[in-house]
Structure 1
């Protein structure tokens, strides 16, 4: 299945990555040349990265640790709450508060529970040396389930300092269409983990107040375009149906009945959805782009930095399955161009972020992960 677009055909380019040194490679992209510089290595199942002002990096490892890096020194951060690591569950995303300089809050998501049942949860704490202090759990999804696939999760801050948090369908597709269940949705929370009263479905009967959008399988990339106010997400739909989504608040994004994969077809929605009703095609938001092969997209950044003048407003997306990094030029929900940045994969791409200083970072790998910085060549 090919991606949907209006107008200009998509341009897919394989861009050569040449070795410059053991710690640096060069990317010859369509618009500019980049150096892929190594920032941190030897990461165990990395999931997310938070880049803090002043050159401090915090990397979450799904196996249950946070690693911090500053001036080439590495520390394992202690003081995390109980985390159940199993299958795709464990320590998940990490993000600094927009007012980090004043409050010191670090937010993170993880699997809370035990071998019998887990839920995706949100907590925060303050970094003091090699330890988190003042740790408090802010939110836990309302329905626990057996540890398994699609725990999520990604975090993204909006301009009003509300926090978006994705939760996967936990391996049960029908849950993504149950709006009394947090699974299979993107949530919007205030900094204390509560639902803001201006959430799109806050007062609607049959909807949890935290829900921002639903009908999601497994959102592993989430970013806000601050200049346009757009929310973008990528999610793995399986069987070559992976999607780039322009999120519509208060709307259904179609998983599973908007998808014809085997997993979706096997869901007995009439019996399992609490409302007992199916949504019509007219009520499902179509993706901006559908990948034509298995990508398992993970990591998403909106580029608005002066370091990348030819990429303003573009999106960078990583691929877990194929180890590729994609650049999308977009106009609203229209994809104008798509460029593949790597000729040879470096490993599964876990996360892509833009730092406060405006540089782009890619977190790549599994048992032996690496954090790279994409530096424009002068």
Structure 2
């Protein structure tokens, strides 16, 4: 389908959604059974005093880097938070959901010392998601430069995306959002709203992006039709790319990400607008739009952070998705079998914590960041 046709169909669907009257939320809950096997978990607070931590990376030797949405990159050394923030971080737009987002090491970090940061740049009236590359040396970022900036130029402080993941071929994926007020643009391949881009390490479009040949399409777009993707992970055993995205009132999605695919937002969604009105009359994805593996209904869990468990500490979790939930205030373990979500367990559900990020440590344990003004880094280990 031509880009102009896709874009017009999105506008038509949005128009239908606007015409729909506010309705009672009669959607059925989509629940999964508890997993048959699990682990008793011990939870330990490693560090607190973090200001809305957002992303976590493990350095060789045991140190860790943590981003704070307010604009600081923090170093954890010997189990303690170093008082002085890491220097050399770019200036960020810390507005509402905007700020400093993810931190990811290059695959060859031990040789190159390269670190990548995603962040909100600009002003309240004109902002974008940007990607920054620098060399890390003992508490400092050196020779840093902005290597990529989204073509969005949006207003407001919502829906930036901001997760980074390196693929096996050395290219990287960066997730984006629809800017909240610009959701129809998620079907427009001439900008970056609601897209996942695939880039070379210098920020240029990676070769082989399947949409690059479309008339008017930006050459770096990998997938589109997303709302706000704040979790992406690549299975180290299978190479499959997984991501989740926020729905509005319900309709959060867990997806398998394949280049060139359209994930439907806002033409196809099970979520309701915040007014209670239907966004679109279409909830079935059909052939044109890739359907999610898991949807959360009728309420949003607000997913953020995604890790695929591969490790020895929790053998019964092998291949499972670990998903942080902000509104849901839990760590969701979703069991996958043959590409389908078959069971789900809520961890930390009694703690009252907004979970922003989840990572698998070099030791096979699970590390979690809590999204609070006095946020914490938690470590989950087997209780027995």
- Please list the CA deviations of residues 278-306 of structure 1 after superposition, one character each: whole Å capped at 9, or x if unmatched: x9842111111111222001111001112
Give the Cα–Cα distance (whole angstroms) in 1 for the partners of residues 171 and 366 of structure 2. 23
- Give the 3 Å change call, closer, same or farther, for CA 212–77 of structure 1 in structure 2: same
Gaps of at least 5 residues in structure 2 are 1-26
Equivalent in 222, 240, 243 of residue 250 of structure 2: 240
Give the Cα–Cα distance (whole angstroms) in 2 for the partners of residues 241 and 42 of structure 1. 33
Give the Cα–Cα distance (whole angstroms) in 1 for the partners of residues 242 and 365 of structure 2. 19
Question: For the aligned residues, what is the CA RMSD?
Answer: 2.1
Corresponding position of 1:86: 95
- Please list the CA deviations of residues 244-287 of structure 1 after superposition, one character each: whole Å capped at 9, or x if unmatched: 111122110011011152269569xxxxxxxxxxx984211111
| TM norm structure 2 | 0.85
Moved more, 152-161 or 337-346: 337-346
Corresponding position of 1:12: 34
Corresponding position of 1:287: 292
Equivalent in 218, 234, 241 of residue 224 of structure 1: 234
Equivalent in 70, 78, 85 of residue 77 of structure 2: 70
> Cα offset for 1:199?
1.6
Corresponding position of 2:185: 175
Q: Aligned to 1:300, what secondary structure does the other structure show? A: strand
Give the Cα–Cα distance (whole angstroms) in 2 for the partners of residues 242 and 282 of structure 1. 20
Q: Aligned to 1:174, what secondary structure does the other structure show? A: helix
Give the Cα–Cα distance (whole angstroms) in 2 for the partners of residues 154 and 31 of structure 1. 28
Corresponding position of 2:371: 365
- Please list the CA deviations of residues 84-136 of structure 1 after superposition, one character each: whole Å capped at 9, or x if unmatched: 11121111111111111111111010111123311100011122233211101
For the pair 1:349 / 2:355, whether they are aligned, the reply is yes
Corresponding position of 2:273: 262
1:16-31 correspondence runs (5 A) = 30-31=37-38
> Cα offset for 1:177?
0.6
Equivalent in 333, 340, 359 of residue 339 of structure 2: 333
> Cα offset for 1:362?
0.8
Give the Cα–Cα distance (whole angstroms) in 2 for the partners of residues 12 and 200 of structure 1. 38
Gaps of at least 5 residues in structure 1 are 14-28, 268-278
Equivalent in 62, 68, 90 of residue 61 of structure 1: 68
Q: Aligned to 2:128, what secondary structure does the other structure show? A: strand
- Please list the CA deviations of residues 173-193 of structure 1 after superposition, one character each: whole Å capped at 9, or x if unmatched: 111111111110111111111
Equivalent in 117, 122, 129 of residue 138 of structure 2: 129
8 A Cα contact 2:47 2:378, kept in partner: yes
| TM norm structure 1 | 0.87
- Please list the CA deviations of residues 309-346 of structure 1 after superposition, one character each: whole Å capped at 9, or x if unmatched: 11111110110002111111112431121111234034
Q: Aligned to 2:184, what secondary structure does the other structure show? A: helix
Tell me how many residue pairs correspond in the alignment. 348
